[in-house]
Amino acid sequence: MPRYDIEQWEKETAEIEIRRWLDQIGQWAPDVEMDRLQLREGEPLSGALNRNEIDQVLHAEIIGRIGCFAEGKPYVVPIVYAYDGKAIYGHSGDGMKVRMMRQNPYVCFQVEHVDSLTNWRSVIVWGHFEELHGDAAEQALQLLVNRLKFRLDQEPFLAAHTADRVLQRDTVTYRIVLEKRTGRFEQQAG
């Protein structure tokens, strides 16, 4: 294919992706030639989640993974969390992840909702670890208890546990105050 055609193809492909994204966020321009969007029917759509969609994923899920880095070593570890729109709240024993986050408070956190390998939403956020004490810790634990109770009621596979059992009181309570958020999705058309 001559160079010009490749560039043209790339431009058109990018334009189609942008229009699909506008459609996803309800900002579709009415004069768009809809037939061009049928070019890839049957293939999964993919793209970026907007801020509202990112928040929806963070609010809806309860399990995410903290990524931290200290003394030249990365560490990724699953946790139960709650989200209040500004920060991720968690609790933990005084183990490796807490020691690493105390050393280097800048951490990454990832959550996904997976319906299938072609229908998923994934969020990655970055923020600063802060240990909580006193009233702030109590409020964070209450947020976690409320969140867990809600999900435990909804999901029979978790029913063997109670929120109080999951959340031991003699733990470190913390939050990750979010500074940057990104989200991606894939959605099977049709």
Ligand X SMILES: Cc1cc2nc3c(=O)[nH]c(=O)nc-3n(C[C@H](O)[C@H](O)[C@H](O)COP(=O)(O)OP(=O)(O)OC[C@H]3O[C@@H](n4cnc5c(N)ncnc54)[C@H](O)[C@@H]3O)c2cc1C
CB of 185 to ligand X, least distance (A): 22
Nearer Cβ to ligand X (89/185): 89
Least Å distance, CB 163 to ligand X, is: 11
In the bound state with ligand X, the residue whose beta carbon lies nearer, of 26 and 72, is 72
User: What is 36-101 written as a DSSP string?
Assistant: GGGGGTTSEEEEE--HHHHHHHHHH--EEEEEEEETTEEEEEEEE-EE-SSEEEEEE-SSHHHHHH
Total of chain residues touching ligand X, rule CB under 6 A: 12
Establish if 74 lies at the interface with ligand X (CB under 6 A).
no
What are phi and psi for residue 147, nearest 5 degrees? -65, -45
Among 76, 77, 114, 159, binds ligand X (CB under 6 A): 77
Return the SS3 of 124: strand
**β-bridge mates for residue 172, sequence order:** 92
Helix, strand, or coil here: 129? strand
Give 96 or 136: the residue with its C-beta nearer to ligand X: 96
Binding site for ligand X (CB under 6 A): 63, 77-80, 90-93, 95-97
